Amino acid sequence: MRIDIITIFPRMVDVPLSESLIGRGRQSGLFEINIHDLRDFTSDKHKVVDDIPYGGGPGMVMKPEPIVAAVNAIDPDNKAVRIVTSAGGQLLNQEIVSDLAAGERILIVCGHYKGVDQRAIEIAKLREVSIGDYVLTGGEYAAVVIADAVLRLLPGTMRDFGSAAEDSHFSGLLGPIEYTRPEIFENRRVPEILISGHHEKIRCWRLGNALFRTRERRPDLFAKRDLSQDEIKILGEYVS
């Protein structure tokens, strides 16, 4: 897997992607992350990447020339899935992340200011992706989120991939609540069933809790799930 990220603030991307699991995977060669400064693809001496919007109004718009030049130079054969971070883009979810993780190359353009000139999006064939219904100062953190979500799914990034397979949203459900040592903390005890050693009862409790939490907190996700007979039975019997 290779990910190329085009940005006007390289350190905002490079630093977080050099830490933790992603940083270790990057150092060991499990995948390749390349950070490109958009200003290196400008043709004027001032390295301008933005201009005022046609039609007036406040703010600035990212110019098309450096973006198209950068994308063409970095991905000349059009082998990468090309993404631009955008508040108006398709909302990122685990299904999209899994699809991206199945590929070999991703190129991410970090949107900034009021947005990107539409011609750059069309000419460079950029897929607009949003990480949520809110606005950031720029697309750098969104690019980090996309890269992190994808790379953690690659074999070898996580020592225990079973942990990822049980994550919230991986199966379309929120994950169950979790506990660790000590068994008692400030007079609050871990649910007895979790320390019972009975694997099937623990499985049912965790699945019941995940189903219950999803129904209560994310009814939109719950409505999309076609419950199996086992899940219907477990949810009906679930006791918090």
In tens, the pLDDT along 142-151 reads 999 999 999 9
pLDDT band at 159 (very low <50, low <70, confident <90, very high): low
The pLDDT tens digits for 205-225 are 999 999 999 999 999 999 999
How far out from the chain centre does Cα 10 lie?
18
Window from 11-25, 39-53, 142-156, 165-179 with minimum mean pLDDT:
165-179
Domain with CATH 3.40.1280.10 in the chain: 2-151
Domain spanning 2-151, CATH architecture: 3-Layer(aba) Sandwich (3.40)
On whether the 166-237 domain is CATH 1.10.1270.20, my answer is yes
Q: What is the pTM of this model?
A: 0.89
pLDDT at 167 > cutoff 80: no
d(CA 96, CA 145): 13
d(CA 235, CA 74): 50
The pLDDT tens digits for 71-129 are 999 999 999 999 999 999 999 999 999 999 999 999 999 999 899 999 999 999 999 99
pLDDT at residue 183, rounded to an integer: 94
Beta strands in 81-138 (DSSP E): 81-91, 105-109, 127-130
From the list 194, 238, 181, 197, the residue with the least C-alpha distance to 215 is 238
Domain with CATH 1.10.1270.20 in the chain: 166-237
